[in-house]
Amino acid sequence: MANIDLQDDLTADAPVLSVRDEEGHLNHAFIQAVEATIDAEDAIGLLKLAGKLHEADTGDLIESLGEADRARFVRLLGDDFDYTALTETDEAVRLKLLETLPNEDIAEGLGDLDSDDAVYILEDMDAEDQAEILGELPYADRAQLQRALDYPESSAGRRMQTEFIAVAPFWTVGQTIDYMREARDLPDSFYEIYVVDPTFRLLGAVALDKVLRTTRDEKVTSIMTETRHAVLATEDQEEVARRFERYNLVSSAVVDENERLVGILTVDDIVDVIQEEAEEDLRALAGVGDEEISDSVLTIARSRLTWLVVNLGTAVLASIIIALFEDTIEAMVALAVLMPIVASMGGNAGTQTMTVAVRGIATQELGARNMLRVLRREVLVGFLNGLALAVLIGLTAWAWFQSPGLGIVIAGSIIINMLFAGLSGLLIPIALDKVNVDPAIASSVFVTTVTDVVGFFAFLGIAALWFGLPF
- Between 141 and 452, whose beta carbon lies closer to a copy of itself? 452
Q: How far is the CB of 80 from a copy of itself (least distance, A)?
A: 19
Cα–Cα distance for residue pair 11/408, rounded to 1 Å: 79
- Between 149 and 207, whose beta carbon lies closer to a copy of itself? 207
- Between 31 and 107, whose beta carbon lies closer to a copy of itself? 31
Q: CB count, 10 Å around CB of 360? A: 19
Q: How far is the CB of 90 from a copy of itself (least distance, A)?
A: 8
- Between 76 and 233, whose beta carbon lies closer to a copy of itself? 233
Cα–Cα distance for residue pair 418/399, rounded to 1 Å: 23
Q: How far is CA 233 from CA 59, 92, 261, in A?
A: 28, 27, 9
Q: How far is the CB of 132 from a copy of itself (least distance, A)?
A: 29
Q: How far is the CB of 10 from a copy of itself (least distance, A)?
A: 13
3-state secondary structure of 264: strand
Q: How far is the CB of 323 from a copy of itself (least distance, A)?
A: 5
Q: How far is the CB of 96 from a copy of itself (least distance, A)?
A: 15
DSSP state of 22: T
- Between 121 and 393, whose beta carbon lies closer to a copy of itself? 393
Q: Which pairing describes strands 202-207 and 192-196: parallel, antiparallel, or unpaired? A: antiparallel
Cα–Cα distance for residue pair 176/212, rounded to 1 Å: 11
349 within 8 A of 418, measured Cβ to Cβ: yes
For residue 236, list its beta bridge partners.
155
- Between 133 and 442, whose beta carbon lies closer to a copy of itself? 442
Closest to 441 in 3D by CA, of 307, 275, 273, 318 = 307
Cα–Cα distance for residue pair 447/425, rounded to 1 Å: 6
- Between 143 and 319, whose beta carbon lies closer to a copy of itself? 319
N- to C-terminal Cα separation, the chain = 71
For residue 266, list its beta bridge partners.
251
DSSP state of 230: P
* CA 196 to chain CA centroid, nearest Å: 34
Q: How far is the CB of 356 from a copy of itself (least distance, A)?
A: 6
* Half-sphere CA count of 404, side-chain side, radius 13 A: 0
- Between 142 and 229, whose beta carbon lies closer to a copy of itself? 229
Q: How far is the CB of 452 from a copy of itself (least distance, A)?
A: 8
339 within 8 A of 322, measured Cβ to Cβ: yes
